[in-house]
Structures are given as C-alpha cells and as structure tokens.
C-alpha cells in the first residue's frame, strides 16, 4: 500500500529493515502503528523492523514539534491532536492494522481508537500499551506547568535521555519545549468515554517504573470488553534492549495469532 496524500507522509514513517525509512512495505503485512512517548519521536522505533517478523510492518507516528517537523507547533490539546490524526491515518484503514503506544503514545492511541469508533471507521485489530497509566487513574503529571528546571529533573528521574543532551543548552531547550507541550496534552485530557472499546488490549508495565507502575496499568482492563492481559517486565519507564526484544516478541506472537 502506498501512502496517499501529504498528510500521511508528514505523520507516518514506514521503517525499513536497514534502519532507514521510506514508503516501501509489504502489501500483506499487518501494519503496527507506533505512537512515541512524550518528548520523543518516530526515531524511537528505528530498530523495530529488525525485531519484528516480516508479517508485521512497524509504521512510526511523527507528531509535530520534533525532528523534521520541529518548525511545526506541537499540540497542547488531545482533542485537536486526535482529530488531525483521524484524517491522517485514513490511508491505513483499508487493511489489517494494530496500534502500539508507549507512555503518552498509549493514551494517544487509545483516544484515537475511540475517535475512529465514533466515526464508524475501521478499528485496529488490537491495542498494545506499554508504560502508560490507565485513563481512569487519577495522577499528577509533574513539571508541565512549572519552570524548565523542574522538567529537567523530571527527565533525569525517568531516565531514557542521553546524558549529552543536558550539556547542550540549545538542544535541551528544543526538547523541553516539545516535552512541555506533550505533558500539557496529557494533563488537560480528562475525557473518558462511557463505553469501553471492544478490542483486545495487551499491556506491558515496568516493575520499577515510577510513572506507570503495574498497579497503575492494571485498570486498562476497564477500557475494553474484549480480552485484556498485563505483563510485568523488568526495568523502569524506558525498556532496555532485552525488555524491548521480549515485548516485540510478544507483540509478534499476538499479531501472528490474529492472522491464523
């Protein structure tokens, strides 16, 4: 399937097994649309083609305000973000697909699935969520409306940011701008539809994750009338290479089962 229109090309990166990106892809593969964490980008999924079998094609979402979309303003409102994603994702809806969302990406992919259902559009076959508290969990998101120093502490505590970023003020300033916008999206999003989704949800929680501990992720079970499973994996908020291999292996197994 070729991407149609400029919107899809701006929003989605089809990842190649050589580590690049492009429009090529297997026509018979299930597309796995991958939504990145707050402050992150599509680059977070660059290695996924090497970790997934050929029947799963990872397609990374690139939100505005980062990488080649850095000049575009980042969203600060979930409703506007999801409305625009509905328009951009339409080229992918004619063939089987699934969602994977990491941290903030979990909430965005869940909200997008609800928006697609409300509009009577084809739904993902499955929703994979990692390191993201359930929508019904009341929790404070630190730093989004405070000084930059607070956001820097937040980044250091969570890990996942290369140490050299903190020594380059210009780079750090750009990341903080985008991170603050992403956290604003999460902080101001209190909408929880009355009717749960009717699609399987597979979730992964880090055993030592200070932001999305297993007890904060288990209520994802309330967000679907279909099957739910939560796996507790090692590590904190950002999975290391061994956890990532485990997660992608489980995702591939689930998608393989859907195809049988």
Catalytic center residues = 103
**Residues forming beta bridges with residue 205, ordered by sequence position:** 232
Task: Specify the residue for token string 């969602």.
Answer: 99
Per the DSSP assignment, residues forming a β-bridge with 100 are: 34, 128
Q: For residues 67 and 11, what is the distance between their CA atoms, to the nearest angstrom?
A: 12
Adjacent-strand bridge partners of 197: 224
Q: Are 121 and 55 in contact (CB under 8 A)?
A: no
Of 195, 8, 188, which Cα lies nearest the Cα of 107?
A: 188
Cα(145)–Cα(137) distance, integer angstroms = 20
End-to-end Cα, the chain, rounded Å: 22
Residue 241: phi and psi, rounded to 5, are -60, -35
């Amino acid at each position: 399937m070729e991407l149609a229109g400029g919107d899809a090309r701006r929003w989605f990166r089809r990842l190649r097994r050589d580590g690049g990106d492009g429009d090529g892809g297997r026509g018979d593969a299930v597309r796995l649309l991958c939504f990145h964490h707050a402050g992150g980008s599509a680059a977070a999924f660059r290695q996924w083609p090497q970790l997934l079998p050929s029947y799963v094609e990872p397609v990374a979402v690139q939100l505005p305000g980062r990488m080649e979309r850095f000049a575009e303003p980042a969203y600060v409102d979930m409703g506007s973000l999801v409305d625009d994603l509905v328009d951009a994702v339409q080229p992918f809806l004619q063939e089987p697909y699934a969602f994977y969302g990491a941290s903030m990406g979990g909430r965005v992919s869940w909200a997008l699935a609800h928006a697609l259902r409300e509009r009577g559009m084809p739904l993902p076959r499955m929703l994979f969520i990692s390191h993201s508290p359930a929508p019904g969990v009341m929790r404070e998101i630190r730093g989004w409306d405070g000084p930059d120093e607070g956001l820097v502490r937040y980044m250091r505590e969570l890990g996942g940011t290369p140490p050299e970023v903190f020594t380059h003020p210009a780079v750090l300033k750009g990341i903080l701008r985008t991170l603050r916008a992403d956290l604003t999206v999460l902080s101001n999003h209190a909408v929880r539809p009355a009717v749960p989704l009717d699609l399987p949800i597979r979730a992964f929680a880090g055993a030592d994750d200070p932001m999305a501990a297993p007890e904060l992720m288990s209520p994802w079970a309330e967000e679907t009338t279909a099957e739910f499973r939560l796996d507790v994996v090692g590590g904190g908020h950002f999975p290391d290479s061994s956890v990532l291999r485990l997660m992608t292996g489980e995702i591939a197994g689930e998608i393989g089962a859907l195809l049988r």
